[in-house]
Chains A and B, each alone.
Chain A
Amino acid sequence: MSPPVKLIGAFGSPAVHRAEAALRLKGVPYELILEDLENKSELLLKSNPIHKKVPVLLHGDRTVCESLVILEYIDETFDGPPLLPADPYDRSMARFWAHFIDHKCAKPFMLSMWSEGETQKESMKESKENLAFLEEQLIKRKKRFFGGDSIGYLDIAACGMAYWLGVIQESAGVSLASGEEFPALRRWAEEYTSDEAIKPCLPDRDKLLTHYVANIDKYRLMVKAPPA
């Protein structure tokens, strides 16, 4: 009998969604502990002293931090449909594109949304180039999902694109792409967000939109300031 699973999370976090999505796809019951990130709990600070971020997976007396690390841990520890492919090359590709999303896509996307002038223009161009790479990857696979016929590691890693991208663009009044562009990604986003296991752990869209609108000044300041 596997020890209990708890997940420390926060409303609206795509990183937390990744962990929830993986647990649900594996059919692993878990307790969600919601944090107020402006007022972090003792539990969070003790469980993730280095980064002090969510998500944190607590599995019995084990602690796992960092969403992509959590994904692999969940995949390897629990029974259920595999999230990463079996073939080493396919695994390396899934990891490559997940890292691409986190390291190459995130910053230009944020700058596209919340900066201005030349910086914004350059960032939007870069963001579209990034989307084009991912569109190409999806088309290459000729399947419903990056993972094939069912949702896998890379689909989950790309959740931000499936759901958050649209909400954030709406909140900022900035549109990266027209309705005609990136048709494969649009179809994929629709498939991902309608999936029965995924839907319940997506944050409510109106609440998410309100959250992004309410915090927009903070984000605009954040992209101006040098890294802490």
Chain B
Amino acid sequence: MPSSLSQQPPHAPAPVKLITAFGSPFAHRVEVALALKGVPYELVVEDLANKSALLLQHNPVHRSVPVLLHGGRAVCESLLIVEYVDEAFHHGAAAPRILPADPYDRAAAHFWAQFIADKCLKPLWLSMWAGGDAQARFARETKESLAILDAQLEGKKTRFFGGDAIGFVDLAACTLAHWLGVLEEVAGVRLVGDGEYPALRRWAEEYTSDETVKRFLPDRDELVAFFSANKERYTSRVRASLQQQ
């Protein structure tokens, strides 16, 4: 492990700002990470329909939230930010680790986070708004992935993907814990049947009841209202992107 990870924090720690937007599960990941590490920060809330100069300046590539500003330097992409927070604010043995210490365990955590992002969340989002044949295809892919995740959890027999404490993979999967039901309701697309994925359900319950996580879960009714208000925009954007092939 690089030696900088065990150094003392600078004497005057640089201020941290987090550019976020209401309802974003990606921003949620970072807020939980900052809270787990005990890092104070200032929240800058964007209206994504009217993006600020600050956001566009610091995330010119993706123009999305969250963006972490630490001493004026910007870190983008939520899971990269979580990893950055884990590495930059590692204040000795007492601080909780979001990613494991062991390289092989870290590889597993990276693998599963990527699997969740690419094979669960991406088709999940598309299945909500695509309609027609595409919807059935994405729904099938999502469900296959959820089954794999469920089997992973079942095999581990721990409260969380990371073990007894919330870790990197749990944050990666947070959408499944709190946003999935909201999306299903707003889109009118039911992906998860009664009794399906019992280990995932148990995990979702554990995750959303955690004292730290709870503070950063947006109110469910507000989420429903928010996604409902944006439903047409998501639908047209998803369908346009699928046409492009």
Contacts and interface: CB of A to CB of B under 8 A. Distances in A.
A206 to B, nearest CB: 31
B199 interface: no
B111 A95 contact: no
B36 interface: no
B61 A64 contact: no
A95 B107 contact: no
Interface residues of B, number: 33
Chain A, interface residues (CB within 8 Å), range: 35 or more
A96 B110 contact: no
A164 B76 CA distance: 28
Contacts of A92: 75, 80-81, 83-84
A89 B242 contact: no
Contacts, number: 79
A172 B232 CA distance: 38
B3 A86 contact: yes
B77 A96 contact: yes
A175 interface: no
Given A82-B2, A86-B3, A89-B70, A72 B75 contact: no
B111 A72 contact: no
B50 interface: no
Nearest to A65: B111
Contact of B115 (A50, A77, A122, A133): A50
Interface in A163-213: none
B245 interface: yes
Contacts of A76: 1, 103, 106
A50 B70 contact: no
Given A64-B107, A66-B110, A76-B103, A226 B245 contact: yes
A77 B107 CA distance: 11
Given A92-B83, A226-B137, A86 B245 contact: no
A99 interface: yes
Interface string B9-31: 00000000000000000000000
B114 A69 contact: yes
Given A69-B107, A72-B107, A96-B80, A91 B87 contact: yes
Interface in A57-78: 62, 64-66, 68-70, 72-73, 76-77
B229 interface: no
B87 A69 contact: no
Interface string A202-228: 000000000000000000000111110
B231 to A, nearest CB: 23
Is the contact region of chain A dominated by helix, strand, or loop, or is it mixed? helix
Q: Which of B107, B119, B244 has the most CB of A within 10 A?
A: B107
Contacts of B2: 82, 84, 86
Q: Which of B73, B87, B110, B119 has the most CB of A within 10 A?
A: B110
A122 B243 CA distance: 13
Contacts of A225: 245
Given A66-B114, A72-B110, A76-B103, A100 B87 contact: no
Interface in B36-56: none
Contact of B61 (A86, A89, A104): A104
Contacts of A87: 4
A88 B106 contact: no
Contacts of B137: 226-227
B186 to A, nearest CB: 24
Nearest to B81: A92
A224 B84 contact: no
A171 to B, nearest CB: 21
Nearest to B134: A226
A89 B70 CA distance: 9
Contacts of A88: 4-5, 84, 87-88
B80 A99 contact: yes
Interface in B80-105: 80-81, 83-84, 87-88, 103-104
12 contacts: A64-B107, A69-B111, A73-B106, A82-B2, A88-B4, A92-B75, A92-B83, A95-B80, A111-B245, A133-B61, A223-B245, A226-B242
The 9 closest A-B CB pairs, nearest first, are A76-B103, A88-B87, A88-B88, A92-B84, A73-B107, A86-B2, A69-B110, A86-B4, A77-B103
